[in-house]
Amino acid sequence: MRTLLLSVVSLALLSSSSPGQVAQPKDAPKAEAGKVTARSNGLHGYIGYSATRPPARSEYSSGMGFYSAVWPLIDQPLANFQIGLPSAWITPDNSDNKDKPLAPEGTLARTWKPRGPTWESVFQTVEGGLGYWAGNHFRYGPPKFSMNATPQCYDYEVGSPGWSFFYSNQALPDNRLGIAQLSNRLLIPPDALPFQGNPNGQFLGYTWMALPFTDPTTGDPPTGDQSWTCFLSAANFKGPIAYYIPETWSKVGKLFNYPFIYGRGLDARPGNMGGGAMEINTVPCFESQDPQGVVYSKIPKLQFPVDSQGRTLLVQDVTYYSKAALADAFKNWRSGGPACSGRFEEKGAWKSTLSTRTTRYDQAGKKLAGVERVFNTKVFDGNVWGLEWFNSDISPNGVFPQYYKHVGEERLPVAAKDVPAQTKLAAQDFKVARPGEPYTSPTAGAWTRPGPKRGPFTVKLVDGSLVTYSWYRFVDQPSFQQYAWSDEKKAALQAFVEKVHANWPIDRDYMAPPSHGSLVSLDPALLVTPPTGLEVGYVPIVTHQSLIPAP
């Protein structure tokens, strides 16, 4: 969680002590060998890159996007496992503030003293992306894509139009809903978006654009006009899916009676965006020792797609955007000007140059030494960042070292054949994830007043879940009901969204196509068609997600 770092979710690693090399007397009983212990902190680290930023940094602060590879990092769904693939991170630019706290007293982040004196990096964020999260309820093999944001100093997170970031089965309280579903063709379930088939290095593009769906206000609280909107680029879907309502960011100042932060949130400030990383967060492991007391450990098999040149291509086309890319034309359209196509204009795009660095890994706080002999990060021709594999005898190309020998304060990767059989590690299988409880929405409040126009309907997803959804008029969806907007404001927004639905198809390139490779496909079951009479101005809001019942 740092300014300008693009990473996935910001959970702290759960660490616990782990024995190093165990000194045993010569007559130590052999019964100690092969006693296997399970731990939750088998691997931690960041596999990352740096990205140059535009010279006119404040100008190119209205959007940022890139293409990220999608593949099954593990060969079966595992419990207590969390690794994010390279993903987005945006914070509001408060670089003019050097010493005054942005996190009000009483918020969670304010208790994180090392983030002071300004708490800028944990004030507000747009996060999310591709990954595996410990809170996923329905795991199926490949990763998923999820939005996420922290509008109130990590007091809560907003990951979908109804729910937090996998933290609760229950929908967010009405006054904490923050995402407005924009697409009338794509479902956004609370357990994130799954993919079709078994992708193996195809790319998903996504961009966050700050678009003016509404005008700024000087009311209580004052609110800017930036609606951070998520665009996707997949083989079977392209376009915007949802946006964070500007009041999501501004209301924290009023809630805590702290006027200093008015105008300092993501509704009004330029976005800070920069390099990127895979965050290796929570990985289980087994430990055991041989008859001589030497400890070994095992982590799950982590696999990567490798091409004929021994490369894993992970990220490409990192691009920053100014208002000239889309926001200016979008605002002109909303004000009565000609319709804009939604395509990002090259005149407002600035492509970043990537650089890389060797990553440090640890296991229960102990350094893993020697992983760089198996692979290292590299920027390849065409400004594509990824991994270079070295044909090591420790591990096959495309497989992160799985076994480690504990030597003093370090953990050294070793080949499977070099792990003594007496440790019994080879036979250990990691716990497979079980389906979680259903996600449920309220039967009162914002979900029912005014309520849906039509539904419910159900679809079955590739992750084994059954999704229930209903069609809501755009401004009647639950997330808007907490605001006392005038009838005129709601009518203007509704009319404009109807124009967006009528003019922006899902087969048009909004982002420029990827420079290399092909696009991944979303699970086709996510794609829906509006019912007759609801073709524009209505959106499919998920109200429930549960395990598909057994026949």
Q: What is the 3-state secondary structure (H, E, C) of 263-332?
A: CCCCCCCCEECCCEEEEEEEECEEEEECCCCCEEEECCCCECCCCCCCEEEEEEEEEEECHHHCHHHHHH
**Model-level pTM?**
0.93
β partners of residue 349: 321
The number of CA neighbours under 13 Å toward the Cβ of 303 is: 15
Instruction: For residues 454 and 175, give the distance between their C-alpha atoms in angstroms, rounded to a whole number.
Output: 24
d(CA 195, CA 485): 37
Nearest-angstrom CA–CA distance, 64 and 351: 10
Interval 454-499: pLDDT, tens: 999 999 999 999 999 999 999 999 999 999 999 999 999 999 999 9
Q: Which residues pair with 468 in a beta bridge?
A: 458, 544
Residue 545: enclosing H or E segment and its boundaries?
Answer: strand 538-547
Residue with tokens 């616990």: 16
Q: What is the pLDDT of residue 31?
A: 46
The pLDDT value recorded for residue 273 is 86
Within 230-378, residue ranges assigned H as helices are 247-255, 327-334
pLDDT tens, 5-39?
333 333 333 333 333 333 444 443 444 888 999 99
- Running DSSP on this structure, what letter comes out for residue 99? S
Ramachandran angles phi, psi of 151, nearest 5°: -80, -15
**Three-state secondary-structure class, residue 32:** helix
Give Cα separations from 287 to 32, 365, 432 (angstroms): 12, 15, 18
Distance CA 259, CA 359 (A): 41
Question: What's the N-to-C CA distance of the chain in angstroms?
Answer: 45
Which pLDDT tens digit goes with each residue over 283-314? 999 999 999 999 999 999 999 999 999 999 99
Q: Which of 180-194, 274-288, 381-395, 451-465 has the lowest average pLDDT?
A: 274-288
pLDDT at 277: 86
pLDDT for the residue numbered 360: 87
If we measure between CA atoms, which residue out of 242, 239, 237, 241 comes closest to residue 524? 237
Contact between 56 and 267 (Cβ < 8 Å): no
Rounded distance between C-alpha atoms, residue 51 and residue 64, angstroms: 12
Query: CA 193, CA 207: separation in Å to the nearest integer?
Result: 16
> What is the per-residue pLDDT for 426?
96
Position 78 pLDDT exceeds 90: yes
C-alpha–C-alpha distance, residues 218 and 205, integer Å = 36
Kindly report, residue by residue over 127-160, the tens digit of the pLDDT.
989 999 999 999 999 999 999 999 999 999 999 9
For the stretch 310-327, pLDDT in tens is 999 999 999 999 999 999
Domain spans of the chain, in order of start: 30-547
pLDDT score at 26: 42
Q: Tell me what the mean pLDDT of segment 239-268 comes to.
A: 98
Mean pLDDT, residues 373-398:
95
Greatest Cα pair distance, the chain, in angstroms, is 87
Least confident of 46-50, 331-335, 392-396, 443-447: 46-50
Supply φ then ψ for residue 493, to 5 degrees. -65, -45
**Residues 185 and 528 sit within 8 Å (Cβ to Cβ):** yes
